[in-house]
Amino acid sequence: QKAEWAKLKNEPTITTDGHAVELGANIGTPKDTVGVLENGGEAIGLYRTEFLYMGRDQFPTEEEQFEAYSSVLKAMEGKPTVVRTLDIGGDKELSYLQLPKELNPFLGLRAIRLCLEMEDMFRTQLRALLRASVHGNLKIMFPMIATLDEFRQAKSLVLDEKAKLQGEGVEVSDSIEIGIMVEIPSTAVMADTFAKEVDFFSIGTNDLIQYTMAADRMNERVSYLYQPFNPAILRLVKMVIDASHREGKWTGMCGEMAGDEIAIPILLGLGLDEFSMSASSILKARAQISKLSKADMESHIDHILAMDTSVEVATYVKEKM
Ligand code: PEP
Ligand code: MG
């Protein structure tokens, strides 16, 4: 099996009926790019930049960030590289940033909410990203977007910093896509509206499931509610993908679900464009997808979306897809 997978390392990911999808990796540090390329990753679908901010006693400087982002972009040699802006708060804390204790940290001031409030910190990250953009194929992604207004504010800061840098004579790429994570149900529901303004979506199922089912992703006592195959989740995923395609945009997925062998046939049938997973899952996923027909997977979708339960969906996929 390993030998079969190894042969696929430099191959594209194509279904039996000729439909191509992109298999990317989730990374946390620049060193991780080695594993991405060794495992035949076609892209980085999620670079979690918060690790750059964690395990230290002060904010990383613009220069330190520039070095990290540039080295990832260079290592990827022009392959799409989605860098997510700082997603801190919730379960991820910084020792040097004392924030007031919150009753519900997962519903609190985290990710883009915190970045829009701490604008100087956010602008520093954006400047580092924009300066690094000339070294590869950068896509900037904002986490935890709940409203269009948040996206517009964040995007306007990117454009503002870009204009400033160019005014200083610093070169910035003109082809940076700006997208969002879809991990809050309001954003999935409003995907048609967002799709007119964003360049891409990446569905963060780890949080989308948590927020849709109102079940803490870390709490074992409610883990029975953490259901990737609940038709509620699948219907939201479909809404997002369809909305993006109607506007000529693309949708990826960077939650754990994207690398799950039961989820993959469904996601293929739903038309997902990019799957981002841990690097070690890529070749296995490519082997699986290369044996599936997209048209065949599509033919099961209406039936699946009309099912009542998560268990019913998973059982059906194992038997029929
Ligand atoms: C997600 O929520 O699905 C995701 C990819 O982000 P994180 O796991 O970092 O919250
Ligand atoms: Mg998330």
What are the Cα distances from residue 76, in Å, to 24, 81, 198, 279?
11, 7, 24, 14
Asked whether the predicted pLDDT for residue 126 surpasses 80, the reply is yes
Asked whether the predicted pLDDT for residue 91 surpasses 80, the reply is no
Q: What is the ipTM of this complex?
A: 0.99
Place of tokens 């910093």: 161
Asked whether the predicted pLDDT for residue 291 surpasses 90, the reply is yes
Beta bridge partners of 82: 139
Asked whether the predicted pLDDT for residue 237 surpasses 90, the reply is yes
- pLDDT, residue 202, reads 98
What is the mean pLDDT of the segment spanning 68-78? 98
Q: Whose CA is nearest to atom 9 of ligand 1?
A: 48
- The Å distance, Cα 143 to ligand 2 centre, comes to 7
With the most atoms of ligand 1 within 8 angstroms of its CB, the residue from 114, 203, 206, 256 to mutate is 206
Q: What is the pLDDT of residues 252-289, one digit of tens each?
A: 999 999 999 999 999 999 999 999 999 999 999 999 99
- pLDDT, residue 253, reads 98
- pLDDT, residue 54, reads 93
**Cβ-based neighbour number of residue 97 at 10 Å:** 14
Q: For the full predicted model, state whether its pTM sits above 0.80.
A: yes
More confident position, 92 or 50: 50
Ligand 1 neighbours by CB, cut-off 6 Å? 46, 48, 87, 183, 204-207, 254-255
Q: What is the pLDDT of residues 2-22, one digit of tens each?
A: 888 989 999 999 999 999 999
What distance in Å separates the CA atoms of residue 165 and residue 175, rounded to the nearest whole number?
16
239 burial (CB, 10 Å; 0-12 / 13-18 / 19+) is middle
Q: Whose CA is nearest to atom 8 of ligand 1?
A: 206
Alpha helices (H) in the chain, listed in sequence order = 2-6, 33-38, 50-53, 62-75, 111-117, 119-132, 148-167, 185-189, 191-195, 205-213, 231-246, 263-270, 282-289, 294-305, 310-320
CB 250 within 8 A of CB 22: no
